[in-house]
Amino acid sequence: MAKEKKLVEAITSMNEDFAQWYTDVVKKAELLEYSNVRGCMIFRPNGYAIWENIQHELDRRFKETGVENVYLPMLIPESLLQKEADHVEGFAPECAWVTMGGNEPLEERLCIRPTSETVFCDLYSRIVQSYRDLPKVYNQWCSVLRWEKTTRPFLRHMEFLWQEGHTAHATAEEAEERTIQMLNVYADFCEEVLAIPMIKGRKTDKEKFAGAEATYTIEAMMHDGKALQSGTSHNFGDGFAKAYGIQYTDRDNKLKHVHQTSWGMSTRIIGAIIMVHGDDSGLVLPPRIAPTQVMVIPIAQQKEGVLEKASEVYESLKGRFRVKMDDSAKSPGWKFSEQEVRGIPARIELGPKDIEKNQAVIVRRDTREKIVVSLDSLADELEKVLNTMQKEMLERARVHRDTHTYTAKNWDEFTDILENKPGFIKAMWCGEQECELAIKEETGATTRCMPFEQECISDVCVHCGKPAKKMIYFGKAY
C-alpha cells in the first residue's frame, strides 16, 4: 500500500519546476537508477528497452548505407592518445586511468575510451594499404567514459552508451559526403521515429570536436525552450591520418593520406524524447520507438468473460503490435496511471459493457482522446490511432519549436528575448570567436549551429555590429 501511494503522488508539474519534473519522470517511469559510482547510472528495463529500439532502427539505417560493425578495445595506451595534439588536449582531462593490472603497477597507464578515434586510426594504419582497401565504413556500439564533474540522467553520465562511426576515404569529397550523409541519417531517424524535428547545421570552430576540421550537428528544442545537441558528425580531413600515419597507395601509385569522418549518437537522445514529448503525467513515447505500444487493461476483470475476452484481444494484436496486457490485481485506475507514467502510447479499455456492445475503448496517451471502436476492426483502428499519434507528436513538436524561435536584429532585441522568451534566437554573426565568447559570457547563450538553411536577418553582427558572415542559432543548452 505504501508503494502504491508513492506512485500516484503527483509528478512535479513541468511549469512549476522543469528540472524536478524531468528527474521525477526518469525515476517514476523506472528508466534509470543511481549506482554507487558517482555519475554512473543503471539503465533499468524500461530505459534500456528504449535504447534497444533506437539501436535496432539506427543500425538498420546505418547498414543500408554500407556500414559494418566492429568492436575495439576499451583501453587506450596514453602514448596512442597523445598522437593528435588537439584531440588529447580535448579529452585527456576527462580520462579515467587504469594504473594497476592484477596486482601489478602498469608501465604505461591506460585510459578507458572517452571516444575511439585514436584506436580506429591505429587499426586503419595497419589494415589500409591500397585504394582497394577503401573506403572503410566501420561503426561500434559500446559504452564510453568521461570524467565529468556534474552529471544528469541521460544528458550527461560519466559512462554512457553510444555508437561511434569511424570512416576512412580516398578523397576529401567522399569524406565530406559521408559526414553529411550520416547527419541526414540521424535527422531522418529523429523525425521519423522519435518525432523530434531537428535543425541541421555546422558548429562554429569554438564548438567543434577536438581534432575535427568541421563538426555538423542536429539540434532539438526541449519543452522548456532549451537546446539539446542530439547527434554530431565530424569531418577530420587528413589531420588524424597524418598524426597516425594512415596512408594508401593510389591508382597512380602515389602514397596518399586518407580522409576521415566520425559520427555519434548516444543515450542522451532519450533525454530529448522525455523533454520534447513528456507531460505532467509522465513519459509520452512516440509509437514507433515505444517498447510497449499498447496496454490492454480489462475493466471489472473479476466479472465473467472479461479476462477471456481481454486475452482474446491481446492475442489478436500480438503479431502486429508490441502489446502487453495488465491483468494484475491492481485497480484499473492504478493501471492507467502506470501506463501513463511509462508513456505507453495507447491503452485499450475493455469492460463488461464494452463486451456486450462488441467494442473497446482506445485511449491515446498524448491527447487522452477516447476512441470507441468495434472489436471487429480493432487492430486496423489501433494502427490508425498510432500512426496519427506519431504524426501529430512530430507536428506539435515542430509548432512548439517554431513558435519559440525568434529573430534578433540587434543586441537589445537579443537580450530582451533571452530574458523573457525561452527558445532559440536566430541572429547574424561576424564570425569572430571573440564575439561568440563575449555573447556566451554576457548571456549564457551559446551558438548552437550555423544552419544549412541560411537567412539574412541583418547585415551586421548582432553583438559587435561589424559586417555579418553567417546566420546562426543561439540558445541556452543542456
Q: Contact with its own copies (CB under 8 A): which of 25, 58, 88, 145?
A: 145
**What are the C-alpha distances in Å from 303 to residues 299, 306, 307, 439?**
9, 6, 8, 66
d(CA 420, CA 409): 16
Q: Contact with its own copies (CB under 8 A): which of 54, 119, 222, 385?
A: 119
Neighbours of 41 (CB within 10 A): 22
Q: Contact with its own copies (CB under 8 A): which of 11, 14, 50, 72?
A: 72
d(CA 162, CA 160): 7
Residue 98 binding its own copies, by CB under 8 A: yes
Q: Contact with its own copies (CB under 8 A): which of 9, 52, 369, 376?
A: 52
Q: Contact with its own copies (CB under 8 A): which of 11, 41, 246, 283?
A: 41
Q: How far apart are the first and last CA of the chain?
A: 37
Residue 307 binding its own copies, by CB under 8 A: no
Q: Pick the stretch among 98-106, 315-323, 358-366, 452-460 that binds its own copies (CB under 8 A).
A: 98-106
Interhelix angle for 378-403 vs 306-318, to 10°? Answer: 70
Q: Contact with its own copies (CB under 8 A): which of 13, 65, 93, 433?
A: 93
d(CA 39, CA 28): 19
Own/partner long-range contacts of 255-258 (Cβ < 8 Å, ≥24 apart): 256/170, 258/124, 258/128, 258/134, 258/168, 258/169, 258/170
Residue 95 binding its own copies, by CB under 8 A: yes
Give the residue from 336, 345, 201 showing the smallest Cα distance to 273. 345
Residue 154 binding its own copies, by CB under 8 A: no
The alpha carbon of 413 is separated from its chain's Cα centroid by a whole number of angstroms, namely 31
Q: Contact with its own copies (CB under 8 A): which of 24, 117, 122, 436?
A: 122
Of 52 and 402, nearer to its own copies (C-beta) is 52
Q: Contact with its own copies (CB under 8 A): which of 23, 74, 379, 465?
A: 74
Residue 371 binding its own copies, by CB under 8 A: no
Residue 374 binding its own copies, by CB under 8 A: no
Give the residue from 112, 52, 50, 49 showing the smallest Cα distance to 77. 112
CB of 105 to its own copies, least distance (A): 9
CB of 450 to its own copies, least distance (A): 32
Of 116 and 215, nearer to its own copies (C-beta) is 116
d(CA 365, CA 29): 14
The answer to whether the CB of 327 falls within 8 A of the CB of 298 is yes
- Binding mask 157-186 vs its own copies (x if CB under 8 A, - otherwise)? --x-x-------------------------
d(CA 406, CA 386): 32
Of 110 and 218, nearer to its own copies (C-beta) is 110
CB of 327 to its own copies, least distance (A): 15
How many residues of this chain bind its own copies (CB under 8 A)? 54
Residue 76 binding its own copies, by CB under 8 A: yes
CB of 322 to its own copies, least distance (A): 12
d(CA 398, CA 418): 20
Q: Contact with its own copies (CB under 8 A): which of 19, 42, 372, 438?
A: 42
DSSP class per residue in 291-341? SS-EEEEESSTTSTTHHHHHHHHHHHHHTTS-EEE--SSS-HHHHHHHHHH
Q: Contact with its own copies (CB under 8 A): which of 11, 50, 58, 80?
A: 80
The answer to whether the CB of 347 falls within 8 A of the CB of 292 is no
Q: Contact with its own copies (CB under 8 A): which of 45, 66, 305, 467?
A: 45
Q: Pick the stretch among 118-126, 314-322, 331-339, 376-384 that binds its own copies (CB under 8 A).
A: 118-126
Helix (H), strand (E) at residue 472? strand 470-475
Binding residues for its own copies, per CB under 8 A? 3, 33, 35-37, 40-45, 48-49, 51-52, 68-77, 80, 93-103, 109-110, 112, 119, 122-123, 126-127, 129-130, 138, 142-143, 145, 147, 159, 161
